[in-house]
Structure 1
Amino acid sequence: MRYIIIGAGAVGGVIGGRLFESGHEVVLVARGAHLAALRAGGLELTTPEGTRTLPVPAVGGPAELELSADDVLLLAVKTQHAEALLAEWSARPVAGGGTAGEVLPVVTAQNGVEGERLALRHFRRVYGMCVWLPSTHLEPGKVSAAGLPKTGFLHVGRYPAGCDGTATRICADLEGSVFRAVATAEVMAWKYGKLLGNVGNALEAVSGPAESEAQLALTRRLAEEYQAALAAAGIAYKSAQEQRAERGDLVNLQPLPGITRGGGSSWQSLDRGTGTIEADYLSGEAVLLGRLHGVPTPLNEALQRLANEFARTGRAAGSLTEAELAELESLL
């Protein structure tokens, strides 16, 4: 199988780089300065083993590729960018007949749970991927991952439910590429569970890592609101304890020389000044479920608005003022 990584940032770049290193055919899809750097010098991948430059082919979009029935599309962009890309890629013809949306599998390697629904509007064969992959992308052409002995822990399964041979083959390729990868019929339970941690991404992005008692209390409350909304909706999910038990000591963070991992994906969006952030699909998912099922989620709603304001106005990551923090605390 050839892996076409749509969005070669922190997650997509590391997955694509690791697959390429283990002998798989990979194409990275990027844009702007990142694409230019990949084309000019390859992908610089830093892991605990060291830094190396990989000559992974890179393109700007589907018009530059001839698709075949053996291709796997792996969507690793933030959810706010997914809709247009899914529409564009699904319409492309595949050698031998049909379009990508009719023939090819698409794997949604994204935080949140909205990407799978968006993908199913355009593709018949959708696979969710729950991603536990501490990785960083702050400079064009460069990605890093600090996990050891495994680079990340990935669950893959058919959406909306089930597990098949394609999921098993993808996981086998990932297993041979320094990941722990599990094919499962419960991928969405894993993804809903992963949101237990991700609802705090907006808080980390605007205020920095949760170190003070006030930040820790806010983080706990964000998760409590989300769990109450999940319970009201009757949605099954893997608890934080279940997630930790399965990961065990497989992905231990290691210091990487010359690289400082300041925060997660939302923090990195603000740090790079992208102008957008995925808060609508993280804290925003708790808000949506709460509104659908009559559960108040005031703190998640406030963080969703605040994170979007930071991204829109170009405020620096971690620049929340004491007054703004106190206003959030008033919602506890």
Structure 2
Amino acid sequence: MRYIIIGAGAVGGSVGGRLAQAGREVVLVARGRHRAELAAHGLRLLVPDGESRHRLPVVDGPGPLGELRADDVLLLAVKTQDTVAALETWADVPVAGGGTAAERLPLVSLQNGVESGRLALRRFRHVYGVCVWLPSAFVEPGVVSAAGSPLTGILHLGRLPHGTDDTARRIAADLADARLEAPVVPDVARWQYAKLLWNLGTAFEALCGPAADEAAHALLARVRAEGERVLDAAGIAYASAEEQRAARGDKVTLVPLDGAPRGGGSSWQSLARGTGTIETDYLNGEIVLLGRLHGVPTPLNELLQRLAGRFAREHRAAGSMPVTELVRRADEAERG
């Protein structure tokens, strides 16, 4: 199997680098300076067991590849807001032996939230969801880091909307060889919704920085409790915190890496890099949407969605809002 990593940033680059280390065939898809650095110098991967460099094929789209191979696997690792463009770019690419990528190839969503899988199912026949537990960072063009040890990450994997098959098991086996545990589960959406609840805190982190005091942790608990009320009202199942802890244990422990300070997760990194966009509409915004559909108020997640979007559009600094200010606004939002 050849793995085409569509979006070779923090998560995509870490998975691609680890797969390459394990001897799997990998193609990286990237743009701009990142693509130029990857093409010129290879992918530099920083992990606890040492630094490595991988000179892999790098493209900015399907054109240079021509006809895709029947054993290709598309790993989609762009941010959710970039999903539609990526699907449109790759869906109609021809595959050797007939048909298109959307008709024949597996597409694996290595993304936060749940919306990308739904979008993919509109275009692709064979879609696989992943609950991504992989602490990673885009350090600079050409360089990504993954600080987890002894495993780089845990990626619960299954077909969408549900089920398993031999393709999922083959992908999981390759990931396992690459220091990425990949339990194949028939109910991957249940794990994705559990991760969604966790990701509701990424907007807080982007605004205020990592939670460091009692007030911050108390607000995060309120935000996630609001999310749980919404999922319960919608009848959506999600893995419990106890089940997640049992599955992960101490398999992915963060280790400080020289030259790769970790300031925060993916939303924090979006603000820190000044990308102008942030994934919050598909994280906190998913809870807001479900709350409106099922009659559950979501003032805290609405607030985080709105503020994080404003910070991104205005290119405001990551972590620049005082926690006390956000708590004050949250209290006001709940009072209505």
Q: TM class by shorter-chain length?
A: over 0.9
2:230 is the alignment partner of 1:229:
yes
Aligned length: 332
Which residue in 2 is equivalent to 1:11? 11
Q: Contact between 2:219 and 2:327, CA under 8 Å: does it hold in 1? A: no
Pick closer, same or farther for the CA change 1:323–1:156 going to 2, 3 Å: closer
Q: Return the alpha-carbon distance in structure 1 between the equivalents of residues 96 and 265 of structure 2.
A: 39
Q: Contact between 2:139 and 2:145, CA under 8 Å: does it hold in 1? A: no
Q: Return the alpha-carbon distance in structure 2 between the equivalents of residues 5 and 93 of structure 1.
A: 18
Match for 1:34: what amino acid? H
Superposed counterparts of 1:1-332, under 5 Å? 1-66=1-66, 67-321=68-322, 322-331=324-333
Q: Return the alpha-carbon distance in structure 1 between the equivalents of residues 259 and 126 of structure 2.
A: 41
Name the TM-score, length of structure 2 as normaliser: 0.97
Q: Return the alpha-carbon distance in structure 2 between the equivalents of residues 138 and 77 of structure 1.
A: 16
Query: Percent identity over the alignment?
Result: 62
CA offsets 1:184-232 (integer angstroms, 9 cap, x no match): 1011000001112101110100111111222212111110111000000
Q: How much has 1:325 moved relative to structure 2?
A: 4.4
| Structure 1 unaligned residues grouped into runs of 5+ | none
CA offsets 1:75-124 (integer angstroms, 9 cap, x no match): 00110000011011001111111111011110001000001000011100
Q: Return the alpha-carbon distance in structure 1 between the equivalents of residues 260 and 69 of structure 2.
A: 38
Q: Return the alpha-carbon distance in structure 1 between the equivalents of residues 333 and 50 of structure 2.
A: 45
Q: Return the alpha-carbon distance in structure 1 between the equivalents of residues 327 and 140 of structure 2.
A: 30
Q: Return the alpha-carbon distance in structure 2 between the equivalents of residues 292 and 261 of structure 1.
A: 37
Q: Contact between 2:206 and 2:268, CA under 8 Å: does it hold in 1? A: yes
Q: Return the alpha-carbon distance in structure 1 between the equivalents of residues 5 and 121 of structure 2.
A: 18
> Which 10-residue stretch deviates more, 206-215 or 284-293?
206-215
Q: Contact between 1:218 and 1:329, CA under 8 Å: does it hold in 2? A: no
Q: Contact between 1:196 and 1:240, CA under 8 Å: does it hold in 2? A: no
Q: How much has 1:57 moved relative to structure 2?
A: 1.4
Q: How much has 1:323 moved relative to structure 2?
A: 3.8
SS in 2 for 1:23: coil
Q: Return the alpha-carbon distance in structure 1 between the equivalents of residues 185 and 98 of structure 2.
A: 30
SS in 1 for 2:333: coil
SS in 2 for 1:331: helix
Q: Return the alpha-carbon distance in structure 1 between the equivalents of residues 138 and 246 of structure 2.
A: 28
Q: Contact between 1:113 and 1:192, CA under 8 Å: does it hold in 2? A: yes
Q: Contact between 1:17 and 1:56, CA under 8 Å: does it hold in 2? A: no
SS in 2 for 1:261: coil
> Which 10-residue stretch deviates more, 154-163 or 250-259?
250-259
